[in-house]
Each structure stands twice: as C-alpha cells, then as structure tokens.
Chain A
C-alpha cells in the first residue's frame, strides 16, 4: 500500500506540474499572489488555470485511467494479453457512431453522441467476439489481428462516408487524441469514466474470475454472459466517452496493463489501482512531452502515445516471442 501512495504522490506531482506548463505564463508564485491579492491585474491567471489548465489535467487523468482499465478488462474477458479497445474494433466503431450522429442529427447534444457511440462500440466489440468464435483453434496472436482488421474495415466505411460528406477532418480528430481543446464545460462527460472505473473496481473479482474461462466461471455459479455483458458495456462506454471528448488514445490499454501485470500479476482487485494510476501517469507524461517538445505549438497526445505505445507493443511482442522460441 505505501508503494501505491508513493506512486499516487508522483502522479499528483506531475499533475501540479501540468498546471503550469503551457503558452500562457502562469507561475506558482504568481498564482498564489493573484489568489491572495485578488486584484484585477492578475485575475487573468486564475481564469486561465480554472478554465483551461485544471480541466485539461483532470481530463488527462480521467481518460488515462479509464482507457487503461478498459484495456485491462478486455484482456481479462478475452483472455488475451494483446486485446484492447484499439485492437478490437471498439474505437473505430465508436467513431462511426459519432459520424452517424453528426451526419443524421447535426444539432444533437454531446450526450446523444456519446450514447450512440456507446451503442456502436458495443455492437462492434460484439461483432469482434462473434468473428473470434468462428476461429476454433485460435493462436494468441490471431485475436488482435482479427480486431485490427475489423477496425480497418470499419474505418474504411467511415472514411468513405466522411470523404463524401467532407467530414474527414472531424473523423481525424476523433481518431487522434488531443487534449488541447479541453476547456471548462467541454470535458465534464469524462467524469463518467470515473464512475465506470469505480464500478469496475467494485466488481473486479468477477472479471478476474472471468479471466479463467467460461467453464470455470459457470462452475463457480456465476453467470458468465452477465459478467461479459457488464464488462463489455463498461469498456464500450469508456471508449465512447473518451473518443467523443478527446479522441482515441491508441495502445494505452495494452501497454499499461501489460507492464502492471508483469510486476503484480492478474488479480484485478489488486492491480486495478496500479493500472488506473499507471494509465493516468502515462498519459500525463506523454501530454507534457507533446506540450513542450514543440513549444509554443503542441503535438497531439494521440501521436505521442502512438509512437511510445506501438514501440512498447513491438517490444512486448518480440520479447514474448523470443522467450517462447
């Protein structure tokens, strides 16, 4: 437990650093003076922090923790280390849902978009699992391959319509995570992922048991389909919320849980806090890199995580292979 506290402290420290990194000049001392003096000249700084920096940092923490937990749940349910929302067609399905709402009901509130995206994400993930059932003797690696291909096919459909309807740019923003647009009033939906992560933690033991296979679960008197449905709903909703508000963050749900599992094993009740913290910290670091490397411009988080995440994925893949061979 103390180790967990240290880790939480480190992430908290990073979060505080994140409040003071950006184009607008805000220093801790200046902020303190502004709060104490409360004069008009320094009001600007308080506004900046409250309207932009705090929402952004909170959004990063929520999205990071949510996507990492979503990846972990998917890995337990599919019993495969290489599955996560972006290798199962979930992200692409969510994006096609948002595209559909944007085209058919342009004025719909964000909540509607999110719900439709959740529904399509759920449908896409269910389709993924259905295809997998047609692959009898599947090797571990066929599973993510099927997911990646399914995602590619769904994405081709979205691209086709987005291209015809001049929405390619919007599609691009949903597929590439970017926190630079996060402002007060535009990210609050992400708190939903917080609730979902808490739910996931409360039923963590069920997912851990589900990871041991359908027969085992049924033996223990649990309803496997119910656990599966609950898990997939949580995953789809988290994915939909994140894609709607900030855009997809690829491979996050794959890298963080795998690293945590290397250290702490597979008991979700025990690893969930680590996975959530790890996801939040990882996204925070990547976003800080994206914010500073090309100052005063920004590199979107989806790109930074894409580089780091795919490199880490490759490492896991080839390392695992070397060990097996």
Chain B
C-alpha cells in the first residue's frame, strides 16, 4: 500500500511540523503555517460572504420569518459540512489512504438500515410517540456499537489491500441499501411513508427538531477529534512507526471510529446520504492546506465543507432555482474525482 504523500514533503521542508519540539511555540511561524493561516482566513471570508448571500438573496416577506427560517437551514448545512469533512479526514488518516471515505465504505447506508430496522421491529406508531431526540440517541448508540465493531474488524483484522476494502465497502453499501428496501417492502405502506424522506439526500427537508441535539453531539465529537490531532499526525507515519513512537494504534483507531460513527449519524440523520461529498472536500483540503498536520487540515476541510454546501446551495437555489439538485451534482463531480484518483493512484 503506497501512501500518496508523506509528512516529510511539506512545503516547510524536510522537517515535519509534528516533529517540532513544543518549545518553539512562541517563535515565528514557518512559511507553511503562514500559508495555512491565509488559506483559513480566505476560506472563512468566503464562507461569511456565502452565508450572507444565502441569508439575504431573494428574500420576500417579513425578515422575522426569513432570518430564523434560513438561519436554521444554514446551521444544518454547517453541521453537515463539518461532520462530513471531519469524519472523512479522520477516516482517511486511520485507513491510511485518500480514496476511502465513510460513505464509500457504507457507513451511512448502515445508518439508514438501522433506522429502517427500528421502524420495522418497533413500528412507526409507537416510534411517533417517542421524542425525536431520544430516538436519535437510540439510533446513535446502535450505530456506534455496530459500526465500530464492523469496521474495526474490516480495517484492523487481516491486512487487506485498499482495493479489497473499497470494493467490500461499496458492496456492503449495496447490501445495506438492499436490506433496507427489502424491509421497507415488508412494512406497512403507511409506515414506509415515515422512512421515505430519510432515504434521499435533501438539504431542504431535514428534521428541524434534530438540529440542536445534532449541534451538541457534533461539538463533542469534533472536540474529541481536535484533542486527538497530534496523535493522528503520528498515525500518518504508518502503523509500525506510530506504535514505536508510543501511540496505541488499536485504541486510537477504535476511538476515531467512534467519532466517525457519531459524525456520520449526525449528517445522515439531518440530510441523508451524500456519497462523494467527503471525498471531494477532503482531497481539496489536502491540496489547499499546505500542511499535513491535522491541526491545519481539519479546520481547512471543515471550512471547505461548509463553504461548498452553503455556496453551492445559494447558487443553485437562488440563481438557478434548481432546489435539491445539489446532492446529485456533488455525486457527479465526486464520482469523476474518484475515478481520477483511482487511475492516477494506479499509475504510480
């Protein structure tokens, strides 16, 4: 398995930033750091502009209605953008390559399958009586348990090539989706109605009551990821070297998978599955960041994710009046990027 990069080839020169002793904190930042800073500032500025455009363009009627209405939507998009971007970067670090993403590996299909199974076994009538937040909590718990067990087995059990993993992941996704639709056919058409919305990625029809619990969860998960960032830098060196540097590989991978499972649940619960979004954002972020440290890559990816969603949605919705087609366009572009990565990766 060949990594496409190594931390020692950053613009800063042969010394990777993670090797730097902590005593240098007070010194002038290296050129790479300054570049990363500018990238972040630029992205932040663009994001502010996009957000302002999203909130105000084409607004008709009372601002008292428009601002909170669009504000919730903006917040949901921000949550999804951050969740997808961070989970993808974490997942790619743990799996040590640039084409695997949680959604390509079937993570969000698993979430949908769990959702379907819950409706299937409990019934929508009884589910409707349960508070959406509690429901989300139950789904999350199941998702973390199952997801971490399954992917831990797949990723850290026998050593498998990337191609086996990707293919297995894609087919797992197909299996999960088929199982979900199989169960959906078995349940009552009325109950099916409850589920149907969840199956399609749409940035317009999300459950507004979930936004705040999701925001809280996201904050915790991202906080944990941020705390892990230095350990993740070490993981980039590979399993053996990370272990010899004193990082418990198995434990870290397990912990990261928990965080990823939570993040995927957040984004899937809010808008549904978007297969290639993470791939696009993460690979753009690696290019833009100018550093391989997670302290830089994670914020850049998160900013990019939110920016792509907000700007894309603003342009499509306000300029072209194309409503929910954003997910489809992401799918199209992401598929092409994936093919390019695959073909180029093979050539090396």
Q: Which residues of chain A have a CB within 8 Å of any CB of chain B?
A: 82, 131, 134-142, 144-146, 148-150, 152-153, 156-157, 159-160, 163-164, 250-251, 293-294, 297-300, 303-304, 306-307, 310-311, 313-314, 317-318, 321-322, 325
Residues 165-206 of B at the A interface (beta carbon under 8 Å) = 166-168, 170-172, 174-175, 177-179, 181-182, 185-186
Contact between chains at B335 and A163 (CB < 8 Å): no
Q: How far is the CA of A159 from the CA of B332 in the complex (A)?
A: 10
| Partner pick for A303 among B171, B182, B325, B347, CB 8 A cutoff | B182
Q: Taking the complex as formed, is B342 at the interface, i.e. its CB lies under 8 A from any CB of chain A?
A: yes
Question: Which of B153-161, B242-250, B285-293 forms contacts with chain A?
Answer: B153-161
By a CB distance below 8 angstroms, the chain A residues around B167 are: 82, 141, 144-145, 148, 317
> Distance (Å) between the CB of A29 and the closest chain B CB?
32
Q: How far is the CA of A317 from the CA of B175 in the complex (A)?
A: 14
| Partner pick for B331 among A152, A297, A325, CB 8 A cutoff | A152
By a CB distance below 8 angstroms, the chain A residues around B338 are: 149
Contact between chains at A142 and B163 (CB < 8 Å): yes
Chain B binding surface, main DSSP class: helix
Contact between chains at B332 and A310 (CB < 8 Å): no
Contact between chains at A321 and B178 (CB < 8 Å): no
Contact between chains at A322 and B339 (CB < 8 Å): no
Chain A binding surface, main DSSP class: helix
Query: Can you name 17 A-B residue pairings with CB atoms under 8 Å?
Result: A82-B167, A135-B342, A135-B343, A137-B346, A146-B339, A153-B332, A156-B329, A163-B325, A293-B186, A297-B185, A299-B182, A303-B178, A306-B182, A314-B172, A321-B161, A321-B164, A325-B160
Contact between chains at A306 and B178 (CB < 8 Å): yes
Q: Given A156-B331, A303-B182, A304-B182, check contact A142 B346 (CB 8 Å).
A: yes
Q: How far is the CA of A266 from the CA of B331 in the complex (A)?
A: 37
By a CB distance below 8 angstroms, the chain A residues around B347 are: 135-137
| Partner pick for B175 among A134, A136, A144, A310, CB 8 A cutoff | A310
By a CB distance below 8 angstroms, the chain A residues around B168 are: 314, 317-318
Q: How far is the CA of A163 from the CA of B343 in the complex (A)?
A: 30
Q: How far is the CA of A134 from the CA of B340 in the complex (A)?
A: 10
Contact between chains at B164 and A153 (CB < 8 Å): no
Question: Which of A131, A299, A306, A307 has the largest count of B CB atoms less than 10 A from its CB?
Answer: A307
Q: How far is the CA of A146 from the CA of B175 in the complex (A)?
A: 19
Q: Taking the complex as formed, is B336 at the interface, i.e. its CB lies under 8 A from any CB of chain A?
A: yes
Q: Given A146-B342, A299-B182, check contact A141 B332 (CB 8 Å).
A: no
| Partner pick for B329 among A152, A160, A321, CB 8 A cutoff | A160
Contact between chains at B185 and A159 (CB < 8 Å): no
Contact between chains at A159 and B328 (CB < 8 Å): yes
Q: How far is the CA of A139 from the CA of B342 in the complex (A)?
A: 11
Q: Taking the complex as formed, is B275 at the interface, i.e. its CB lies under 8 A from any CB of chain A?
A: yes
